[in-house]
Amino acid sequence: MKKIFNISLIIFLILFQLTSFAGEKNYHKELITDWSRIFPDKNRNAAGPKFFKYIIGKKITYKDFIEFNKLYCAVSGSLIDPNSDSEFLFIEETKTQKKICGNYYRCCVPCSCDLMKYSETQKMKYEFKDGFKEFYVLTIKNPCSKQDFPNRVNKDYFCDGKKINKSEVYSLDDRIVIGLLHNGKSCEKDEIDFVKSHQVTGSYCELRNNTPLENLDAGMGDIFIKLAR
């Protein structure tokens, strides 16, 4: 009798696990499947804003929103491996210039540097399936009047004339939202010190961010910088 009970328990646990796995979303697969819908011309250069617009337009929970936003680089527009770790950094808040600390999922090291120098963050409130949530988003200023708008970026994704193309990207206060700053909050002094002394966000980013634009050949090179500066 005990043996039969143990076998039944094992079968139940296996079926429970299979059901749980079947019910889990495959966020990465969903983005790959919808790639051609997000980027009709297949040009994802610096088009993190297209991912953000696509994700926030879905009828999803806040958890889903968080998970989707771990899977693309806001700077380059490329997909990120689902098992990637995040980078801890700080971004200046648009209205206060305070440093807001958080985590950023990036495709390569230079993207963190570009983000810290050329983007800002602000708090956003949005209603998901499970209610209203507040979070910090990453933004860049309206690039649509630029004479040197990078030609490797699809301008139609971002702009409608000199205005932001709100049917293609999400905007706040005439700034384009390029992605999510995960776990965003006001920085403590020791957190700022950590970022500044870190091998990547400290010494490497200082070197990159002081390199002339024409000499940049890593990450997105000058593409995102021309778009965001």
SS3 state of residue 128: strand
What domain count does the chain have? 1
C-alpha span between 189 and 159 (Å, rounded): 38
Q: Mean pLDDT throughout 48-53?
A: 97
Beta bridge partners of 72: 79
Domain extent at residue 49: 25-228
Place of tokens 């696509």: 54
For residue 25, the model assigns a pLDDT of: 83
Residue of higher predicted confidence among 214 and 166: 166
Asked if residue 10 belongs to a domain, the reply is no
Q: Which two structure tokens, joined as six digits, stand for 154?
A: 């699809």
Asked whether residue 7 is assigned to any structural domain, the reply reads: no
Give percent of the chain with pLDDT exceeding 70: 87
Q: Would 1 be classed as within a structural domain?
A: no
> What is the pLDDT at residue 34?
95
The pLDDT value given to residue 9: 39
